[in-house]
Structure 1
Amino acid sequence: MEERDYLAENAAYLKKDLGKNNISQNLFQRFKELITNGQLPAGYMMPNENVVSEQLGIGRSTLREAYTALAVFGFIRRSKAGTFVNEIDNIVNIAPFSITVENSDLNDLLEFRYMLEGETASYAAKRATKDDIAQLEYYYEKMKEFRHDVNQFVDYDSMFHMQVAVATHNKLLMSTMLASKDSFENGIRLAMRESLTQNPRVIDVTIELHGKIIEAIKGGDYQTAYTAMREHISYVNLTVKYG
């Protein structure tokens, strides 16, 4: 008996009106819904990433971002054998924390990330693989490419920070970063728009600081990675508060 291709059956829903921004987040939400309601059943092995990317009309990096989020929350598990849908009972539920983050003041969120992300960058410097670093470099280059497009710039900035968390290979750190991702993005977009009208150098400084972070992680220099990340978050704090 031929196995059902559940992904192909749901491909039209997954790819419909994904938009131009937050594609990976939108895809994550749709995969989550299909897994929760059983349309992508427990034990189902996802097709090869190239096949899925082609079916959905998206890049592999976008698909991997969605997969990373799904894996962090326990919806899927990834191994050398493939990508599999988990049993519902195994799915991690951190909704209460997510709700707390969504209702937090932006300054509180920035202070929280100041405490969290320095350590995250430090662990990333100790544990990042070649693939992790390649993905960080990709997002960094995209930030430079879209320096004149605030929405796109913030998207890739956020992906960069999420990838730093992924490079720690610590699921709790990844979950915490993911839970704060949307609230952080929305607040920073508003802050960036306001700041750019007063100080066009904000984006240039942000790019420069990200460059320091990535070089420290590449070099395995966990102390510099820690310092550079805290310098970056401090700069964002000042930008948000004082423009």
Structure 2
Amino acid sequence: MRDRTLSDRAYENILSKIMDGDIPVGGKLPTEQVLSSELGVSRPVLRQALKQLREDDVIVSRQGSGSFVKRRPEGAILDFAPIGSIADIQRTFEFRAAVEGEAAYLAAERRTDSDLNELRASLAELDRCIAEGELGVAADEVFHVAVCNAADNKYFVAARSSMKSNILTGMNLTRNLSLTKPQDRMKLVQAEHYEIFEAIEKGDRDSARNAMRAHVENARKRIFEG
């Protein structure tokens, strides 16, 4: 756990350097030796942080050449989430992909007409939010909770509920960032919701799981889209 906390801190420190422009896009990160010394962490801890930055598509590693900045996350992120919370938000998305992916799988098998009506209503409310330029965090949350309810297993709802404040922080960040983009961005997110719903409606378990996991993973990556 201590290593995880240290690697999160190293991740956020490197991310901050990139966002501040200290290391420009295309620029090479200092060597592991230099970075670990600068950040006061061991090489294994630093590697965990670099691995997370690669997964977030912020840096790219080239064999024998080191790591380079692939893209610079926009400063608007810090308007909605302090730098110290970003690693935690990303970790929450990992949790959600696992839990909600399996919930969607079971929802496709067990959903009732009432569940489908609840999902349709939440999608309609999200459509309204998009049309009227509203944030839509509450409606987004209702949709995802409805998928867990449709799985007909109280532990999916309980597990997700235990992380509710973290989940809402992530949703608030991603939807606020989407509002700063052309409306097509929100429509893309909504299309992913419809793909999940249609798979559940058809009873296609694998497609429901894959659509949900892709949606949550895309949300995680969209945080750093410039």
TM-score bracket for this pair, using the shorter chain length: 0.5 to 0.7
CA RMSD, 1 decimal: 2.0
Moved over 4 A (4+): none
Alpha-carbon spacing, 1:117–1:238, altered in 2? closer, same or farther (3 Å): same
For 2:117 and 2:181, locate their aligned partners in 1 and report how far apart those are by CA, in whole Å: 34
The offset of 1:189, in angstroms, is: 1.4
Q: Say whether residues 1:221 and 2:208 are aligned partners.
A: no
Q: Say whether residues 1:175 and 2:158 are aligned partners.
A: yes
Letter in 2 for 1:242: E
Q: Say whether residues 1:109 and 2:92 are aligned partners.
A: yes
Give secondary structure in 1 for the equivalent of 2:118. helix
Q: Say whether residues 1:203 and 2:186 are aligned partners.
A: yes
Q: Say whether residues 1:188 and 2:175 are aligned partners.
A: no
Alpha-carbon spacing, 1:126–1:237, altered in 2? closer, same or farther (3 Å): same
The offset of 1:203, in angstroms, is: 0.9
Letter in 1 for 2:142: M
Alpha-carbon spacing, 1:211–1:187, altered in 2? closer, same or farther (3 Å): same
For 2:191 and 2:150, locate their aligned partners in 1 and report how far apart those are by CA, in whole Å: 20
For 1:149 and 1:175, locate their aligned partners in 2 and report how far apart those are by CA, in whole Å: 31
For 1:132 and 1:104, locate their aligned partners in 2 and report how far apart those are by CA, in whole Å: 34
For 1:187 and 1:199, locate their aligned partners in 2 and report how far apart those are by CA, in whole Å: 20
For 2:177 and 2:125, locate their aligned partners in 1 and report how far apart those are by CA, in whole Å: 22
Contact 1:158 1:181 in 2 (8 A): no
Q: Say whether residues 1:146 and 2:142 are aligned partners.
A: no
For 2:126 and 2:151, locate their aligned partners in 1 and report how far apart those are by CA, in whole Å: 22
What TM-score, normalized to structure 2? 0.58
The offset of 1:202, in angstroms, is: 2.1
Percent of aligned positions with the same letter in both sequences?
Answer: 29
Give secondary structure in 2 for the equivalent of 1:146. helix
For 1:192 and 1:144, locate their aligned partners in 2 and report how far apart those are by CA, in whole Å: 14
Match runs of 1:126-137 below 5 Å: 126-137=109-120
The offset of 1:116, in angstroms, is: 1.4
Structure 1 gaps, min length 5: 1-101
For 1:235 and 1:186, locate their aligned partners in 2 and report how far apart those are by CA, in whole Å: 16
What TM-score, normalized to structure 1? 0.54
Q: 2:103 aligns with which of 114, 117, 120?
A: 120
The offset of 1:119, in angstroms, is: 0.8
Q: Which has the higher contact order (CA 8 A, sep 6+)?
A: 2
